[in-house]
Amino acid sequence: MMLREQAHQYKEMYAHQHYSPLRAICRSFLKYVAPSMMMVLLVTLVLGTFASEPVSAEPQGFSSGAVQRAAPQGFGIESNSPNTVKGVLSQGHSNDYVVLEGHLFANDDDPQDLSSYIFKDANGDQITVDISTSNNAVEPQPDLVYYIWGTVNRDWFSTSINVIEYTPVG
């Protein structure tokens, strides 16, 4: 029995040596070092949050001297855009959107081109229009008054309108 008691005492004395050294290091790290590292991380996060707050309330955003631009009005048509043929011919730039009211006549200068028409407004001014890209399936009638909506096509020696849509008035 004496041997058995000695073996039991020996086992109790040297039981911790059965663990590997790596396991002992990990256990002591988790017990002593990890909690203090977590506390340091938490304190750093809290101080970082308070340090990022603005010190004083200053105006932010764009400078107040910047010019405010108005939003475009439907379809990019501005209120100062030319709305007569004379205005398109004198002030129109390429790719400007225009809305005009008047009559569409077949272009007698080019009878083979079925998409080229002459547009005549109420003042009697005329401009060549191209309806090949328009959304309309019906050929325009010369006795009806139309609204045309399109883009100005300005070349070196000519100005025309590429019609997007034409609709009869009334």
Domain count for the chain: 2
Q: How many CB atoms lie within 10 A of CB 131?
A: 23
- Residue ranges making up the domain that contains 95: 82-168
In a domain, 69, yes or no: no
**Same domain for 97 and 144?**
yes
**Same domain for 87 and 34?**
no
Q: Which residue shows structure tokens 């009211």?
A: 101
What pTM was computed for the model? 0.51
Q: Which residue shows structure tokens 């225009």?
A: 98
Kindly indicate the confidence band of residue 66, based on its pLDDT and cuts at 50, 70 and 90.
Answer: low
In a domain, 125, yes or no: yes
Each residue's pLDDT tens digit, 118-159: 999 989 999 999 988 888 878 888 889 999 999 999 988 889
Across 77-97, average pLDDT: 78
Range of weakest confidence among 32-41, 72-81, 85-94, 109-118: 72-81
**3-state DSSP assignment of residue 70:** coil
Instruction: State the pLDDT at residue 160.
Output: 92
In a domain, 27, yes or no: yes
**3-state DSSP assignment of residue 44:** helix
**Same domain for 97 and 25?**
no
**Same domain for 19 and 92?**
no
